[in-house]
Structure 1
Amino acid sequence: MPTPHQTPIPTQWVGPIHIIGNAINDEVRVPLATYETPLWPSTGRGAKISRLCGGIRATVVDERMTRSIVLEAANAQEAYDALQAIQGNQALYTEAVAETSRFARLLDMHSQIVGNLLFLRFECATGDASGHNMVTKAADALIALILERHPELGYGSISGNYCIDKKASAVNGILGRGKNVVAEITIPREICEKRLRTTPEKMLTLNTRKNHIGSNIAGSLRSANAHFANMLLAFYLATGQDAANIIEGSQGIVHTEIRDDALYFSCTLPNLIVGTVGNGKGQGLEIVEDHLTELGCREAREPGANARRLAAICAATVLCGELSLLAAQTNPGELMRSHIAMERHG
């Protein structure tokens, strides 16, 4: 098998970012791999704000990886009867998942019946791995067990798209897929004006008009943000993640308020799919290993803790870039002037 040709993507370290929360309390520099060079100083400006304002609070709200299967029955009644039996024996299926991996654990199961088709969406804990392959292996075992116990059902597919992987959807934001992380910061007026060259009022107005109303009339799906995808892609590439997962990862919401003459600014990212072990890591990609080590995500911790730390860092990085861009867009001409100065060199 030929060795893949590796072309390095320009990478710079940004920060440090001051982050507090239930997965990390630290100041960390963050690697971003991108051809969009203004992203580095822009995200760096947000990182500076994090250090001036007591830190970005990153809260990991939930974590799970999913795989949906589709089975076929003779008719909807038969599918429904089988579903009732499957749901009544969930402990059996929980045990089957646990036998497929040291870290896989069945958290929940959701279902949909369409005609004679039965869709089952399995949700699993996957330790420090993002878990794509882990949940697929578990789903294979579950299919075999279900078909053994329910010969009236037939195999449809190992992936029924009710998961849903690398496609824009509503279900992931509602039921969860990957890490659900909320990043928040409160910025005093003086810092808004001096460091971001804007005001809390301008930021609130822009977020409402651009991210919420503008995204709504464009038909965005569970999204109200300016450019989550930019920071996500750069972070994913630098840390060995499956970059295609920025499709669902960039579905997120910016929420702003004015509190006691300060700007409250938050980024909610319900579908961050990241891991510190597994595909993309430990395969001779020394630069990825170096990045994860520098981020403090190669420490001896309980299973899942390194991945939660990585997700919190990722969410805080997204907030830094989102905050800086929106601040620039409150001022006429600033966005283009910045790009010309930083990317086109005049």
Structure 2
Amino acid sequence: MAGPLAGVRILDLTTVVMGPFATQILGDFGADVIKVESPEGDSMRKVGPFVHPGMGPLYMQANRNKRSIVLNLKQQEDKDTLLALVKEVDVLVYNIRPPAMRRLGLDYETLARINPGLIMCGAFGFGEKGPYAGRPAYDDILQAASGISSVFQRVNGKPSYAPINICDRTVGLYLATTISSALFHKQRTGEGQAIELPMFETMAQFVLGDHFGGALFQPPRGETGYKRLLSSQRGPYPTKDGHLCVVVYTDEHWRKFSRMLGVPDLVDNDPRFASLQERTIRSEEMGAYLNSALVVKTTEEWLRLFDEADIPASPVNRIDDLFEDPHLEAVGFWQEMEHPTEGRIRVPAPVGTWSRTQPEVRRLPPNLGENQAEVLQEILGREAR
């Protein structure tokens, strides 16, 4: 097995996006991830398009490098099988709400008696000590609760959702990091532990990292929000033939840009451009300036000039453009592989280059219960019924 977590075994009771995304990362890093599904399977299996029902793209992009088994945890025999597996693993991760876990008899105190070294990590909507404990939570709920929807309102007057599962995937990254850190602690001390990773608290910290503003200080020294990000003029900016993203940020960027425009040095001769602090305060004006300035050339002309000046810029890629992007092609981002039931599929490679323990795609996303027999025989020495 390849990857830095080779030899680690994880029982994955998560569903939808956040938990499966996290455990896929751990699987990419070499962990043996055993995905425990109900007889109905992960709900993301049902979101098409399909070659075969139950193998939709959202499921398949969050569940590679895993093995699938089916257990109905409301039936004692299947719950006993899970408890037998608990003895043999390093980590159990779940996103079932804690009261339901307790009703199933799967609380940490019970499982730690079976496996004292167990790392048990729960990731769910809200921390157990607060008044929101136990509330259901999906990505849209967390976008609204954490302030993401409200910052759209500050920009364009209407609260909105980011059109990606930004909370699920952000908390998924935190979850993968949390479990990796707990494994490091266990390696040093032999100790398992119970971990709670609530989505609301995680995303509140994430959003406030940019938008704390003057509320950082007590008493506050100004309003919340980072003006540059909240500017209604932020871009992407119109060009002669389309749109372009450019970040004219430092004093040197603005000097170079002003020379491109053939105007006197803006930084030295116009107080609006004199410093990063001034330009941030005047973010609306800076954005309006760029919106009016870039329409004189085509997107390709500007990209060439910005590249020569080392000013950060990018075309506005469509999703479809990523499949033909020359950089992604050159770095080996895409892998085409033959799935046993779904045919030829395109898979993003695990990101990053490791000199010794390179992560890799070892297993393509499993069909529901595909690995039942091998997991039970390999780990428990018993036949699947």
The structure with the larger Rg is 2
> Normalising to structure 2: TM-score of the pair?
0.23
Q: Specify which structure has the bigger relative contact order, considering alpha-carbon pairs within 8 angstroms and separated by 6 or more residues.
A: 1
